[in-house]
Structures are given as C-alpha cells and as structure tokens.
Structure 1
Amino acid sequence: MTRYAAGLTWGEGPRWHDGALWASDPQRGGIWTDRSGAWTFTALTSRSNGLWFLPDGRLVGAVTTERRVGAWNGTEFAPYADLSAVATGPLGDMVGDAHGGLYVDDVGYTAHLGEEPKPGRIVHVGADGQARIAAEGVQFPNGLAFIDDGRVLVVAETWEQRLMAYTVRPDGTLTDPRLYADLRKAAGPEARPDGICATADGTGVWACTLTGHSVVRVTPDGVDHILDFAPGSPVACTTDGRSRLFVTVANSGGRPVMQAVADKTVTSSVEVIDL
C-alpha cells in the first residue's frame, strides 16, 4: 500500500479514466484530478458526490443537494439530468451502464438537517436524460457497483451493514432484491459499507467499511480478502480495471470519524494497492 495523493478533506466517487484519477471532495466543495500530471483541486459552487464517465468519454457527477446530474465542462457540472421530481434526499454514488444509462442513489432524507430516517431509492437516468425510480425502499443506499457483465447491481446499505444485489432489467428497473453480503457477520460488528466498486474481473466487489477500518473483497461465495487500513477509515474505492485498487481514506486523528467530519477536522488521502 502506498500514498497516491493527499490534500483531500473527504474523498468520494473516485474514478480512473484514461490514465488519470478523479475524485469528488464534497466537504471541501470541489473535484480533484491528476489529469494534467499534478494532483489538482477545482473549487465548485455545486458540490458533487458520485462520478462516472459516459461511453462518449464525458464525466458526469451527482450534484448532491441540487438533486441533479451534471456534465463536467472543465470548470463546473453543467445541467444534464434533473432528478428533483423523483429524489427526496441528497444524492450519493453513481454508476453507469454500457448504453449511457446511469444509476444514482437517493439517500431519502437529510440527516444533518434533523430529518427522521426513511428509506431511499435508486434512480435510473436514461441516455436521453430522463429520470425515473428504478428501486424503492432502499435503506440508506450508498456505494453502487455493477457485476456479472452489468446484469447485477450491488448496493451498499450503510446502516443495515449489508450489501444487496438487484437484477437489472432491460428497461432499467431493478428487481429481485436479495442479500449479497452481511458485513456485520463477515467483516466485524463495526463494518458499515460506504463506497464500493467492482473487482477488475467484474465477479465481485471491493467494499469500504468506513468505521470497520478495512476494505473487503466480496464474491458470491462471501468475503475472501480483507485489507486493514486502521486507524484510517476507508470511504470509497475504484480500480484501474487491471491490477490497482485506489482507496480514499479519512483520517480523524483518533476521534470518531463522523465527529471529525462535523467538526471539520477530518483530512483524507488516496492510497493505492497493487493487487
């Protein structure tokens, strides 16, 4: 494990594309990339969370509180798709399919405003930019990842400490929700899945456990590999599609990580692991 980059406050939605790493920093209010060769921050007025690259190479971001998806134009996320008619909470992670469709998780409620917890949903955005609900009743959806050649979408339910799997239908809806992994049992009582990504071969997922201080590899047969990041808190991850895993890791200075977020004392880095 080696340090790839530093300077982040809270790294979300990391994506590797065309030889460069990209990541959102919603706590600081901007986006990071080393596309130019240097790890560079661009401040944004509209804060992104999940990121994805469309088949045509465009970068899109889930603009968290504005409940929309934006297309990166080099300085900001310009309008791409409006989710305000179907989303009720802040937007989180986002993944896309080979046809230009996107899946975005809607947490369902705004915790820091004191709203009572309620189920969220997964929103599908078609290649035409139209948004509709793909799955309802998801308990605090967080990380998203496609496996099995895009036929299955895995969803992290953070507070339930589990990964759920959905079958992807041709019309973009999600059916047959089923347990993919119980991380409380498989990775320890503090394992709460945050960001996830598909393994390079697409047969399983890597899951950041945040307060569990680990990243675990999960296949249909269970957890078969655990990477220890203690005392750091792994937030989100991505691969380069071959042999490297990138993980954004929060450092809370020994305090509970969410308390450090609230106090604005958390710092983050990107670590890279050769698989």
Structure 2
Amino acid sequence: MNRRHFITQSTLLSGLMMTNATHALSAKSDLLSIPNLLCLWDFARKQPLRSKGKYTYQLQEPTNKIPVVNDGVLSENSLDIKEHEYLTIPRADCPGLNIRGENAQVTVLAWVKRQVKSRDNIECEAIAGMWNETQKKRQYCLFLNIRLHNSKSQVCGHISGVGGPTPGEKWCIDVSIGQTPVRYDEWTFVAMTYDGHVIKSYRNGQFDARADRNPYPYEGGIFEGGADGADFTVGAVHRLGAIGNDFVGQLGGLAIFDRALSADEIAQIHEQHPLPKPSVATLATGLNFPEGPAFAADGSLWAVELKGESLIQHRHGKLKRFHVGGGPNGIAIDKQGKIWFCDSAQRSIRRFDPVTGKTETILDKIDGEPLNKPNDLAFDSVGNLVFTCPGESRQEPTGYAVVRMRDGSARKITTEKYFPNGLAFSADGKTLVLAETYKHRLWKGNWNPATGEWTDAIVWATVEGPQGPGGPDGMAFGEDENLYVAVYGTGLIHVVSPEGKVIQKINVAGQHPTNCAFDPSGKLGLVVTEAEKGQLQQVVKNTKGITLFN
C-alpha cells in the first residue's frame, strides 16, 4: 500500500468514527500526501504556528500576538491579521524555504479572507514568500493587488532572478497578474506557481488567464540571496526601508512546495477543501432594476423596479407588484404607511397608498421648472422630505437636492453637484449625508429641520468607485453609527466610520448594488437591491439600522 492510499483509507475510517471536528485531519492528510510539500500551516489548535510537512518551522510574531479565530478552511481555525502585523521566520531558521537557482520551481497556496486596510487603494498586499525589496533580495512571493498594468485586487505571483528591480525599471515587474479580483470579506483560495519558465496565478482552483500577464514567461530563475538574504515573511514584506505592503484579513491555510503544481492538482485541492459560503442570501430575483428598499411598520419590505414601472412588496417570503408607471426610484414611507417615491421618468415626487392602490403626484416643479429626474429621498425628524435630482449631471455639475417642507413649500438646498444620489439622516436627525456619485464622494453637513437648511456641508468621505459609470448610490446608517453605502459598479457595500474612513467592504452578488436598508427587527440584517442580477439580497450582519424618520 502506497502512502497516498494509506492516508486516504485512514481518513475515510476516521470520518466514519469521529465527528465533524476531524475534518481538519482529512484536510491535512490530503495536502501532506502531495509530492514536494515543504511546509503546511493549517493553524489547528495545539500548535497553530508550527508547520507540518517536510519541515516543521515555527512562525514568529515580531509585532503583536496574532489572534487565532474559530473560522477556517484547512482546520477550524485561521489567523486574523490586522494592519501593521505580520509573521516571519528568520532566514537562518528556515533553509528549506530558501528556494533558489536557475532551475528552481515553487508553488505558494493560501486561503484568505481579505479585509480593508487604510492604503488598499495604493498599496499591494503580500501573502507569503522570501522577498526583501529594501536590500534587493527578492526571490518569490505571492501577492494580491499589485496594481500594475491597470490591475487591481488580482492574484499576483512575483519571481525575481536578480534580487533587485527588473533591469531598466523602478520596481520588479516580473509578475503574473490574474484577471479576476479577490473579493473582500469572502474566503478565496489563491495560488502562484513557477516552473522555471512561466509564472502563473490561480484563483479558487482555476488558472485565471489575463492577456500578456498570466501566464507570464520568465526564464530568469530564482535569485540566490546568500546568507543575508530575505527572511520568510507572511502578511508583509520588507520594502522602502521598513516592513509594509500589509495583507489584512484572515489566513486559513498556507502551503509551500518546491515544485510547480499542475493546474489539475490545484483544481483538485480546491475541490477537496471547499470554501465556506459567503453570507449573502437571495430574497427575490427576476426584478427589473430594483432600487430603494424600505421597511414598513408591519415588517414588509418595499422596493421599486425602475425599469419595470412598479413598486414591489416582499412579505412572508412572497412578492407582490403594484404597477405605477413611469420610472420609480427611491422610497420613503410615512407615518400613515403611504409609499413616497421619486419618479425619474415623470420628473416628479409621487405617493402610493397600499390600502386604496391609488397613486398621486405630490410635486413636479421647482422654481417653475420640471424636477430634474428625482432619484432618492428621505424624511427628516419632523416630516420634511429631502430628495436628490441628478438629471444628466454625470459630466457637468447640474445636479441639485430639494427640501419639501411640511407646509408644501419647496426649495433647493444644494446645487452644482455631479449626480447627487443617495442620502441619509443621522440617528439624531441633525446631520445629512449626500452621495455625489460621479465624484465618488460623500458630503456631510448640519441639518436644521425647523428651517430646512443644510449648512457647513463638506466632503466627508471618498469611496473607491469603478473606472466606468457608477459610484456611491443609496445608503443606510447602522446602529453601530457606521454608514453602509451601496457602491454601484463595484459589487460592494462600503462601511464608512463616523470619522469618514472606509473600514470594511462587504460583497454582494452582482456588480451593481443600488441601495440598502436595515431590517428594524434585525431578522433580515442588511437588505440590498442589486440591478445586474435583478435581486433583493440579504447580507447577514450583526447590527441593526437606526430608526428612520417618517
């Protein structure tokens, strides 16, 4: 009986006799049986930082003690690496990982759940390898988010045969760059291989081809760093005289081989070690550009179909449509349970009564002119209605926002905006935040409900939008005081702290989230409307939203 057969049989027997806690043993056994494995870290309980395999090296924590959390892939655990934290093994203590030479080969596998860091817009993210840019002692390293050649957030395999920058370049640009971004807050299996001739990047078990960059031909071999070469580091590398290029997030497994695994082997590893499913559920599908979710007092969820000319009600798992015509957009629900909505096609603010089924136009002009394609709206603490009118202000700052006071009078509260869009009031009603979509920024100012004045408004936060159409859209405040912003074109909800910093990015299914709302009961968490797939989605969150005004 060969070793692979013996381990497989042992694993099957263990699975019959033991509980789900032994899944980690099966995972370790499968990987340990693959030829040329040097080190495997699965972060299991007893010695989470000691590797298994040919070499049993201990990762060291030079910054802070890195928490081991109960959420993993290869075992029940993973490391939760924060910004400015990393792990290392001094070069002298890990000679087996010193892969080098003209004919050297290497594979690095990692299971990651990526999170936001303060410099994620401009700085790459090192997963693991021997890579010291400061001393020009580069060898090999698995990265994310290299940001070369119009890339962002992809899996990147770096190899250097010279130690320093690529000849004639400022940096080392000998790197394979995949096509598909690694999403935030979602487990992803990432990998790089080098066979002495070609560097390749893999994502979730698949070779992630990209024209001219993946595969990347490279005949230079791997640099011999000598006795004072690079240490082995995890979560950062030495560059510009200091440790940096941080990876922030969870690491659920890490494996190093001195052989280039084949595409079939990597696909099989992915199949044998399935990733935990992301926490996004579909409440309704088949919707024609959904927007503007809002919860009524009876717990029902309302939204619109912008291109379906309808309002929709989701209650007890069932969907009901109410055809209203025009181009319904954002929604706000008043104390009587009536549904107020923007209508961009009819250039008006309209109101629907669920009891009678009747719809009436409340406002269609400002300063004697038709409203400029109203988009989103919200009530303040005394019942004044604020709404945005972006019109066609994608290229020119012709968008504005309006307040309709309780007495029916209306006036503009801000002008000269590039596509003003979503808006939200703070819990105390004294602050109004407004999204300027095509500038990828959020404005924040003081709100006076007695006078309907928005004063001292400043650019409070910026969010990273797509290169093409899109940016911050609808938004909702959580009771954690963070603002949850749907960023159209990115497939993400950005979580913005009270200080105006993006502290988390939450994945949704599809690239075009249009708006979001919290279930006041907490049962559904954060609900998102997504236009690409035409869905109402539930994002599981441990926080509720603030109570909205009506």
Q: Would you say same fold, with TM above 0.5?
A: yes
* Matching residue within 1, 13, 16 for 2:295: 16
Q: What is the root-mean-square deviation of aligned Cα atoms in Å?
A: 2.3
CA distance in 1, matches of 2:318, 2:411: 38
- The question of whether the paired residues in 2 share the 8 Å contact of 1:135 and 1:173 is answered with no
More strand by share: 1
- What's the counterpart of residue 120 of structure 1? 399
- What's the counterpart of residue 362 of structure 2? 80
> How far is the alpha carbon of 1:14 from its aligned partner?
0.7
Q: Which letter maps to 1:208?
A: A
> How far is the alpha carbon of 1:34 from its aligned partner?
2.1
- What's the counterpart of residue 57 of structure 1? 337
CA distance in 1, matches of 2:439, 2:340: 28
Comparing 59-68 and 150-159, the one that deviates more: 59-68
- The question of whether the paired residues in 2 share the 8 Å contact of 1:65 and 1:89 is answered with no
- The question of whether the paired residues in 2 share the 8 Å contact of 1:86 and 1:123 is answered with no
After TM superposition, where is structure 1 displaced by more than 4 Å over at least 4 residues in a row?
A: 187-191
* Matching residue within 210, 221, 227 for 2:488: 210
CA distance in 2, matches of 1:88, 1:241: 32
> How far is the alpha carbon of 1:87 from its aligned partner?
5.5
- The question of whether the paired residues in 1 share the 8 Å contact of 2:289 and 2:306 is answered with yes
- What's the counterpart of residue 269 of structure 1? 535
Q: Alignment partner of 1:159: what SS?
A: helix
- The question of whether the paired residues in 1 share the 8 Å contact of 2:473 and 2:514 is answered with yes
CA distance in 1, matches of 2:301, 2:446: 29
> How far is the alpha carbon of 1:48 from its aligned partner?
1.6
- The question of whether the paired residues in 2 share the 8 Å contact of 1:48 and 1:63 is answered with yes
- What's the counterpart of residue 173 of structure 1? 453
- The question of whether the paired residues in 1 share the 8 Å contact of 2:508 and 2:539 is answered with no
> How far is the alpha carbon of 1:138 from its aligned partner?
2.2
- The question of whether the paired residues in 2 share the 8 Å contact of 1:59 and 1:71 is answered with yes
* Aligned: 1:97 with 2:348: no
Q: Give the 3 Å change call, closer, same or farther, for CA 87–107 of structure 1 in structure 2.
A: farther
Q: How many residues align?
A: 253
Q: Give the 3 Å change call, closer, same or farther, for CA 36–231 of structure 1 in structure 2.
A: closer
CA distance in 2, matches of 1:89, 1:80: 15
Q: Which has the higher contact order (CA 8 A, sep 6+)?
A: 1
Q: Alignment partner of 1:28: what SS?
A: coil
- What's the counterpart of residue 259 of structure 1? none
> How far is the alpha carbon of 1:69 from its aligned partner?
1.6
> How far is the alpha carbon of 1:33 from its aligned partner?
0.5
CA distance in 1, matches of 2:421, 2:439: 11
> How far is the alpha carbon of 1:76 from its aligned partner?
4.3
Q: Which letter maps to 2:537?
A: E
- What's the counterpart of residue 518 of structure 2? 239
Give the TM-score normalised by the residue count of structure 2.
0.43
CA distance in 2, matches of 1:96, 1:241: 16
CA distance in 2, matches of 1:70, 1:188: 31
Q: Which letter maps to 1:96?
A: F
> Could you give the per-residue CA deviations for residues 109-161 of structure 1, whole angstroms, max 9, x where no partner exists?
377xxxx6332111001112222111222221011111141111111111101
> Could you give the per-residue CA deviations for residues 79-131 of structure 1, whole angstroms, max 9, x where no partner exists?
223334366521000011121111010114377xxxx6332111001112222
Q: If you compute each CA radius of gyration, which structure gives the higher value, 1 or 2? A: 2
- The question of whether the paired residues in 1 share the 8 Å contact of 2:304 and 2:328 is answered with yes
CA distance in 2, matches of 1:56, 1:97: 15
> How far is the alpha carbon of 1:230 from its aligned partner?
5.5
Q: Which letter maps to 1:66?
A: Q
Q: Which letter maps to 1:160?
A: K
Q: Give the 3 Å change call, closer, same or farther, for CA 77–164 of structure 1 in structure 2.
A: same
> How far is the alpha carbon of 1:45 from its aligned partner?
2.0
* Aligned: 1:200 with 2:479: yes
> How far is the alpha carbon of 1:61 from its aligned partner?
1.2
- What's the counterpart of residue 260 of structure 2? none
**Which ranges in structure 1 are unaligned for 5 or more consecutive residues?**
252-266
CA distance in 2, matches of 1:248, 1:214: 12
Sequence identity percentage? 25
> How far is the alpha carbon of 1:36 from its aligned partner?
7.5
- The question of whether the paired residues in 1 share the 8 Å contact of 2:291 and 2:530 is answered with no
> Could you give the per-residue CA deviations for residues 46-70 of structure 1, whole angstroms, max 9, x where no partner exists?
3321110123332211122333222
**Which ranges in structure 2 are unaligned for 5 or more consecutive residues?**
1-279, 542-550
CA distance in 1, matches of 2:476, 2:510: 22
- The question of whether the paired residues in 2 share the 8 Å contact of 1:235 and 1:249 is answered with yes
Comparing 32-41 and 161-170, the one that deviates more: 32-41
Q: Give the 3 Å change call, closer, same or farther, for CA 136–232 of structure 1 in structure 2.
A: closer
What does 1:146-157 align with in structure 2 at a 5 Å threshold? 146-157=425-436
Q: Which letter maps to 2:311?
A: I
Q: Which letter maps to 2:486?
A: C
> Could you give the per-residue CA deviations for residues 185-213 of structure 1, whole angstroms, max 9, x where no partner exists?
xx786771111122235x23111111121
Q: Alignment partner of 2:286: what SS?
A: strand
Q: Which letter maps to 1:99?
A: V
